[in-house]
Structure 1
Amino acid sequence: MFKTLRNAWKIPDLRKRLIYTFMMLLVIRLGAHIPVPGVNASAIKNLLKQQGGALGLFDMISGGALQNMTIFAMGIVPYINASIILQLLQIAIPKLEEMAKEGEEGRKTIAKYTRYLTIVLAAIQAWGFTFAMRNQNVLINPNLWSWIVAILSFVAGTAFMMWIGEQITEKGIGNGTSLIIFVNIVSRLPVGVNVLLSYKNYVVTALLLVVFVIMIAFVVLVQQGERRIAVQYAKRTSGRKVYGGQSTHIPVKVNLAGVIPIIFAMSLLQFPEMVTNFFVANPTGVWGKILVWLRWTHPFGAVLYALLILFFTFFYSTITFNPIEIANNMKKNGGFIPGIRPGKPTADYLTKVVNQITLVGAIFLAIIALMPVALQAIFKMNVSFGGTSLLIVVGVALDTVKQMEAQMLMRHYKGFLS
């Protein structure tokens, strides 16, 4: 990774892109320290210490902006949700699906819809958050003007982060949205190290660090892992030219769904408690016990959390990988999998392979997500690093390095041809 950065720095165009990316990410971190007027940050910090869960995940993605109640408290999450919603709607709405296949113009239109939906979701999330936290004294002076200022500040912060993410993608290196989440998570690393070193049991601390390194290696192994399905294209003659006849492959990643199933599962698991906080600050009785059971730190909640991850992994993989469409495209272009007949048998074979690979990826995600819970239960220590954050950081780092290598390779060929 450092060698790739060093080589990229030597190329003037890539150096400009790297500097631009670093400057934009610096703006993100500066904005994470600008507080929203009239908001009580200490109340949110106390709530995060008590509950964590989904709020802890959002605070991690925002780089601590949520617990400090800054203008970037909502983070880039509304933009991610809007992108996922429009991606799912492309399957349900044929017009959107056609638009996505129209090329650059279609993608621009979908991007415009994504921006509009992001603002709507950010406004709903900002209103819901301030309304739900009214019992926690989130506003110093809870009047209409304070609500309006807080909501507008949150929405403006999300819109600004969305714009920066798009600018990084266009003028910088890597995916802007992913890099924003990456730098926010990495910014919390010193706090996590400080918490870990504050414990006096140095043997357990050293053991946790070893487990952390093993988890990184495990994540890299699975993130890079893929099943390559061999494809052969038949030769065809058109005039004096012969087309086809080459061999290629279809790469199927082990972790096809990425980190999305974990985010979906955690959000759904914490949804009842978040809705309850709209009306009651500290629920008691039977419903209070149920909410405790649904927390991922409880054995029942942990099992349910793992099952939800398995479900969402298969659900999202089914959406992103369409065996029938791939089989039809192969048949039209004269391609076939050796030993498998074209058409429906090919689609059935691809479905079987993808289901097997997805099961491995789903189990991997469940292990990574529940590892911090298991470590806390075993060592009775607050393990600050989570499997979700580790998965995001490693995935974004690998993807960014690949993009830099691709940029350098492209410029190498340009120089060779000139």
Structure 2
Amino acid sequence: MDNVAGSKELRNKVLFTFGMLIVYRLGIHVPVPGINGQAIADFFANAQNTLFGLFDMFSGGGLSRLSVFALGIMPYISASIILQLLTVVSPELSRLKKEEGEAGQKKITQYTRYLTVLITLVQGTGISIGLQQMTSPTGVPVVPDPGPMFIFLTVITLSAGTIFIMWLGEQITARGIGNGISLIIFSGIVAGIPGALMKSFRLMSSGEMAIFVALIITVIMAGVLVFTCFMETSQRRIPIHYAKRQMGRKMYGGQNTHLPLRVNTAGVIPPIFASSILMFPATIANFSQVEWLQSISTFFQPGSAAYTIVFVGLIIFFCFFYTAIIFDPKDIAENLKKQGGFIPGIRPGKHTKDYIDKVLTRITLWGSLYVAAICVLPMLLINKLNVPFYFGGTALLIVVGVAIDTMSQVQSYLITHQYEGLMQKSKLKGRF
């Protein structure tokens, strides 16, 4: 922190980042016009194990309050994932990503923005229509005065809120420190921790939770947090050697480096996809009284054996699926061959591609098991110990991952700043 305070430029970046996040958190408390706040709060009190609860976590509580930021940054994330999937099947997008460099990336970013606006319009329309049909558990309508004007105003408000959040994230990335979109999600999750802790203290003071149970939970939380930090920074380093090349009278190359492969290459996408699929029946059941749909919703309640088995299977599947999309061993092998690099003992070309693919498959298996354990084990323990708030899973992976990435950027900036300072001092000495 002393280094941050000593660097004026970095201090300004950190303050700018905090300022933008404060603006985001203030917007969470601005409600959409025409909503009965108490009725929507009562509705979400019974929707924690549905898609509404998952989306509310990503929106930082904006959805449960029906604020102008109710859609959160999820439309932008969805648009980014869709564009990533399309680059695999679309030759035009693939060419933009691989051949046109920074200019191509700017075009893909622009397409992502347009798709985000389209998604917000569709989601905003669906939410506004659904709100008119929603009632609290006591029968109070969420929208006292429904109609076309309410739908139009809600769609415009929600779309403008998401676009503003997207702008905030881009401003943080460009002028602040860290990835703006990730920090917005991070701030929304962290903002819910104080309230959960206060609720735990109230339960202990009233005798509903034993102190011994609270100590066990604290130890479990600390252990899971340390294990998550360790796994998120773990990587398999494949050694890379570059052959020496002579150009004129000078020799180039001959360097030794490594290719880092993260254990959790897919990040938080697999548990998000898996949770969304399993929560879908419970979400539909909230709006329907069909008996077979209610039975499926009950069968896949979080913590049940069926939910746990399917959840683990989906996480492992999406870990391999998403890793195959974002990491292509064939491209890595071709780039190494063009640059004169090779893996010791492995022939360039197809053999290198097969070797990288083999190593990636192995670490992805362990990475998928780690993600599944982080998502399932705390959930099972919480159900047994009756903890009043959810700890673990997707939220923990996001918090730890964003914190590690942001601190790495701060450290890199400090190292670069110190290096530039040393270079300036050496130039000054050289003049005398």
* TM-score, with structure 1 as normaliser: 0.94
Higher mean Cα deviation, 130-139 or 399-408?
130-139
- Please say if 1:258 is aligned against 2:267: yes
Alpha-carbon separation, structure 1, partners of 2:338 and 2:39: 61
Match of 2:22 in 1: 26
- Please say if 1:349 is aligned against 2:347: no
Alpha-carbon separation, structure 2, partners of 1:361 and 1:47: 37
Match of 2:70 in 1: 73
Alpha-carbon separation, structure 2, partners of 1:129 and 1:11: 46
- Please say if 1:218 is aligned against 2:235: no
Map 1:196-345 onto structure 2 (within 5 A).
196-199=200-203, 200=207, 201-275=210-284, 277=286, 281-345=287-351
Report the alpha carbon displacement of residue 291 of structure 1 after superposing the two structures with TM: 2.1
Higher mean Cα deviation, 379-388 or 232-241?
379-388
Map 1:84-95 onto structure 2 (within 5 A).
84-95=81-92
Match of 1:179 in 2: 183
Map 1:79-228 onto structure 2 (within 5 A).
79-101=76-98, 102-133=100-131, 134-136=133-135, 137-199=141-203, 200=207, 201-228=210-237
1:61 to 38, 58, 74: 58
Would you say how many aligned residue pairs link Structure 1 and Structure 2?
411
Q: Is the 8 A contact 2:285 2:293 kept in 1?
A: no
Q: Which amino acid aligns with 1:180?
A: I
Alpha-carbon separation, structure 1, partners of 2:68 and 2:377: 32
Runs of 4+ in 1 over 4 A off after TM superposition: none
Q: Which amino acid aligns with 1:12?
A: K
Alpha-carbon separation, structure 2, partners of 1:371 and 1:392: 17
Q: Is the 8 A contact 1:372 1:383 kept in 2?
A: no
Higher mean Cα deviation, 357-366 or 103-112?
103-112
Higher mean Cα deviation, 59-68 or 134-143?
134-143
Residue 249 of structure 1 aligns to a residue in which SS? strand
Report the alpha carbon displacement of residue 402 of structure 1 after superposing the two structures with TM: 0.5
Indicate the RMSD between aligned Cα atoms, in angstroms.
Answer: 1.6
Q: Is the 8 A contact 1:292 1:298 kept in 2?
A: no
Residue 62 of structure 2 aligns to a residue in which SS? coil
Report the alpha carbon displacement of residue 295 of structure 1 after superposing the two structures with TM: 3.4
Q: Which amino acid aligns with 1:111?
A: T
Alpha-carbon separation, structure 2, partners of 1:354 and 1:138: 49
Q: Which amino acid aligns with 1:190?
A: P
Residue deviations 1:151-188 (CA, integer Å, cap 9, x gap): 21111110100000000000000000011111111110
Alpha-carbon separation, structure 1, partners of 2:197 and 2:276: 26
Residue deviations 1:51-107 (CA, integer Å, cap 9, x gap): 323221211121211111111111111011111111111111111122123122222
Q: Is the 8 A contact 1:375 1:383 kept in 2?
A: no
Match of 2:421 in 1: 415
Q: 1:135 to 1:34 in 2, by over 3 A?
A: closer
Q: 1:189 to 1:43 in 2, by over 3 A?
A: same
Q: Is the 8 A contact 1:31 1:70 kept in 2?
A: yes
Residue 95 of structure 1 aligns to a residue in which SS? helix
Q: Is the 8 A contact 1:99 1:110 kept in 2?
A: yes
Residue 198 of structure 1 aligns to a residue in which SS? helix
User: Considering only CA atoms, is the larger Rg found in Structure 1 or Structure 2?
Assistant: 2
Alpha-carbon separation, structure 2, partners of 1:224 and 1:366: 17
Residue 245 of structure 1 aligns to a residue in which SS? coil
Match of 1:39 in 2: 35
Q: Is the 8 A contact 2:312 2:372 kept in 1?
A: yes
Alpha-carbon separation, structure 2, partners of 1:56 and 1:372: 18
- Please say if 1:17 is aligned against 2:13: yes
Match of 1:400 in 2: 406
Residue deviations 1:94-153 (CA, integer Å, cap 9, x gap): 111221231222222111111111111111112222333423333221211112112211
Q: Is the 8 A contact 2:241 2:344 kept in 1?
A: yes
Alpha-carbon separation, structure 2, partners of 1:47 and 1:373: 23
Residue 296 of structure 1 aligns to a residue in which SS? coil
Residue deviations 1:313-359 (CA, integer Å, cap 9, x gap): 11011111111111111122222111212211111111111011011
Alpha-carbon separation, structure 2, partners of 1:100 and 1:212: 40
Q: Which amino acid aligns with 2:68?
A: I
Alpha-carbon separation, structure 2, partners of 1:289 and 1:229: 49
Report the alpha carbon displacement of residue 275 of structure 1 after superposing the two structures with TM: 4.4
Report the alpha carbon displacement of residue 215 of structure 1 after superposing the two structures with TM: 1.0
1:371 to 355, 359, 377: 377
Alpha-carbon separation, structure 2, partners of 1:190 and 1:367: 25
Report the alpha carbon displacement of residue 282 of structure 1 after superposing the two structures with TM: 4.2
Q: Which amino acid aligns with 1:26?
A: I
Residue 67 of structure 1 aligns to a residue in which SS? helix
Q: Which amino acid aligns with 2:78?
A: N
Alpha-carbon separation, structure 1, partners of 2:293 and 2:20: 45
Residue 66 of structure 1 aligns to a residue in which SS? helix
Higher mean Cα deviation, 63-72 or 196-205?
196-205
Q: Percent of aligned pairs with the same residue?
A: 43
* TM-score, with structure 2 as normaliser: 0.91
Q: Which runs of 5+ in 2 are unaligned?
A: 136-140, 425-432
Alpha-carbon separation, structure 1, partners of 2:146 and 2:79: 30
